[in-house]
Amino acid sequence: MQASIKIGTRGSALALWQANWVKSRLETIHSGLRAELIIIKTKGDIILDVPLAKVGGKGLFVKELEEALLDGRIDLAVHSMKDVPAEFPAGLGIAAILERADPRDVLLAVDYAALADLPTGARVGSSSLRRQCQLLHERPDLHMESLRGNVNTRIQKLESGQFAAIVLAAAGVQRLGLTARVVEYFAPERIIPANGQGAVGIECRIDDHTTRTLLTPLDHAETSIAVRAERAFLHQLEGGCQVPIAGYARLQGGALVMAGRVGSLDGKEMITRELTGAVEDPEGLGRSLADTLIALGADRLLALP
């Protein structure tokens, strides 16, 4: 049995919560194993004054962790799956996906009880073009503004009056016990989540069979199937953070059901479809859904500057 293992993580409170959970599970399952957290600052943690879409998108939160994997400084990296690009560097891959937490988005506010209660022209903060698009589709009068930083920082900006409301992932808010300001949970069919939202993935070197064996018990089959469909959908659309893309898959009645959406930045156009496929071929369902949206005109939205 391997005596120790190094876990790479970002340094935010949420990233550390996730990494410590993985550490605890590994040490519990594998008696005698000692797991050490190695905190690595990513470009996404450093550049906080520019919208993600303008500085490189998803890869900003994983590149430095992947470099540490490739040069052997760490044995595995813990990621929020919604931050992981559709393609991996050669030699790396996801070895386990943990059971998914709440996939929904939530609205946080101090003076209002729901999205419908926000006054005309209210300032709403979100770092996600996907969220901005879908909120503007419902409330085109809202003034959407980019909101970067960790969960605590974003909530502090709300409480200081900089925003009438902000939108975050339910999973992160719940994991950190910061639900006091949550006023509305958006059903996944209303505001479709990001691909992989609520799921935590563990990346390692493909040829590191010892680490992969250690991680096998952490993989949650149902979540893994759903996320595989969502990532195939994203990959087929060649999407990152430049265009609003949403995808959410779930097992239902022995089948895999997935909803996908592509929209314009202003929320005026949204193309949405839901398909059902075989649990045994999640990637096939994700690609089919992407092709369906493209046939309905999503390629034009994806090509917009």
Enumerate the active-site residues.
83
Q: How far apart are the first and last CA of the chain?
A: 52
- Rounded to whole angstroms, the Cα distance separating 134 from 140 reads 10
C-alpha distances out from residue 185 to 107, 113, 139, Å: 6, 11, 16
Contacts of 99 (CB under 8 A, 6+ apart): 220, 222, 223
Question: Amino acid letter at 222?
Answer: E
Q: According to the 3-state scheme, what is the secondary structure of 190-215?
A: CCCCCCCCCCEEEEEECCCHHHHHHH
- DSSP notation for 226-291: HHHHHHHHHHHTT-SSSS-EEEEEEEETTEEEEEEEEE-TTSS-EEEEEEEE-TT-HHHHHHHHHH
Q: Cβ distance 209 to 203 under 8 Å?
A: no
3-state secondary structure (DSSP) of residue 92: strand
From the CB of residue 9, how many other CB atoms can be counted at a distance below 10 Å? 23
